[in-house]
Amino acid sequence: MKDTVFLNNDIEMPLLGLGTYRISGENEMAKAISAAVDSGYRLIDTASSYKNEEAVGRAIARSGVPRSGLFITTKLWNTAQRLNDITGAFQRSLERLHTDYVDLYMIQWPVPGCYLNSWLEICSLLETGRVRAVGVCNFEVRHLEELKSISGIVPAVNQFEYHPLWNRKELVEYCRMNGIQVQASAPLARGGYLDHDVFCVMGTKYACSPAQIGLRWAVQKGISVIPGSSDPRHIRANSDIFNFSIDPEDMELLEKVNENYRCTDIPEDLQDIPF
């Protein structure tokens, strides 16, 4: 199957990316990004709140892949939204990443009272040519409907927790109907289904791992995945999902393991990070 998708503004995005949320050390990042590009990953997902943009920037510079061959995503954190410092936060991200532009800039969380203004501000960055596409994370249907009422620009991507244990049917369908590409954060449910019977049995059937079953299930439905890993063996294995396909009856079975299991934090419950 094709391993890229076209976003609603005709930008081509890889379906598979490396999630870097918990990778912080310089060496760890260099090893992870090196393993990723060697295995064919071209999308790297970071965020100012991960405090690793500089390490990402240095690792991609050393990767040997030209900047134009990579798809770099970063995100606007809540503090900058509250301070209405969107342009400043974006500029600081570019500097930390040592790049002139990002391929996708996203609002990381719909901060109440702020996200509509943040959306208008990040849309205006499109005109500068320093952002190729704009998107959101963790937006529910109600948030997306509000964006629609104030802006003519539809988010290119909505990134939210998505995996077989929490399959967000209504939100996925809304995004599909509105031309918003779904990108699965925590597509491995942070390990939550790796010893689940259904995944182990299917892993044996398709001669792959439970992780590969979960990732393949998503990409087979056209959903982008950004599994997080700092382990080169896992990074390589997680990329090996485009050379087999899951039978329709098994895809249906995987739809039924949903248990509305959430593994990621709700940022509003966390201490603010000054980024």
Ligand X SMILES: NC(=O)c1ccc[n+]([C@@H]2O[C@H](COP(=O)([O-])OP(=O)(O)OC[C@H]3O[C@@H](n4cnc5c(N)ncnc54)[C@H](OP(=O)(O)O)[C@@H]3O)[C@@H](O)[C@H]2O)c1
Q: Is 50 a catalytic residue?
A: yes
Query: Measured between alpha carbons, how far apart are the two ends of the chain, in Å?
Result: 39
Q: Find the binder of ligand X among 81, 158, 185, 239 (CB under 6 A).
A: 185
Minimal distance, residue 226 CB to ligand X, in Å: 5
Task: Work out whether 230 is an interface residue with ligand X (CB under 6 A).
Answer: yes
Q: Which stretches within 127-209 are classed as H helix?
A: 141-150, 169-177, 197-206
Angle separating helix axes 210-220 and 248-255, nearest 10 degrees: 100
Q: Find the binder of ligand X among 74, 118, 220, 229 (CB under 6 A).
A: 229
Minimal distance, residue 237 CB to ligand X, in Å: 5
Task: Work out whether 268 is an interface residue with ligand X (CB under 6 A).
Answer: no
User: Which residue's CB is nearer to ligand X, number 16 or number 237?
Assistant: 237
Minimal distance, residue 266 CB to ligand X, in Å: 10
* Distances from the Cα of 197 to the Cα of 149, 155, 158, 194, angstroms: 44, 37, 30, 9
CB 107 within 8 A of CB 136: yes
Query: 59: helix, coil or strand?
Result: helix
Minimal distance, residue 230 CB to ligand X, in Å: 4
Stretch that binds ligand X, among 125-133, 141-149, 183-191, 239-247 (CB under 6 A): 183-191
Q: Which residues pair with 185 in a beta bridge?
A: 161
User: Which residue's CB is nearer to ligand X, number 127 or number 186?
Assistant: 186
Instruction: For residues 125 and 210, give the distance between their C-alpha atoms in angstroms, rounded to a whole number.
Output: 40
Task: Work out whether 187 is an interface residue with ligand X (CB under 6 A).
Answer: yes
Instruction: For residues 118 and 84, give the distance between their C-alpha atoms in angstroms, rounded to a whole number.
Output: 7
Q: Looking at 41, 50, 105, 193, which residue is catalytic?
A: 50
Stretch that binds ligand X, among 6-14, 33-41, 142-150, 185-193 (CB under 6 A): 185-193
Task: Work out whether 155 is an interface residue with ligand X (CB under 6 A).
Answer: no
Task: Work out whether 220 is an interface residue with ligand X (CB under 6 A).
Answer: no
Q: Which residue type occupies 123?
A: C
Instruction: For residues 192 and 129, give the distance between their C-alpha atoms in angstroms, rounded to a whole number.
Output: 40
DSSP 49: G
DSSP 64: S
Task: Work out whether 261 is an interface residue with ligand X (CB under 6 A).
Answer: no
User: Which residue's CB is nearer to ligand X, number 138 or number 220?
Assistant: 138
User: Which residue of this chain has its Cβ atom nearest to ligand X in the complex?
Assistant: 228
CA angle (30 as vertex; 26, 31 as ends), nearest 5: 120
Q: Which residue type occupies 98?
A: H
User: Which residue's CB is nearer to ligand X, number 40 or number 191?
Assistant: 191
Q: Find the binder of ligand X among 7, 14, 19, 158 (CB under 6 A).
A: 19
Q: Footprint of ligand X on this chain (CB under 6 A)?
A: 19-21, 45, 108, 137-138, 159, 185-191, 194, 209, 211, 226-231, 234, 237-238, 264
Catalytic residues: 50
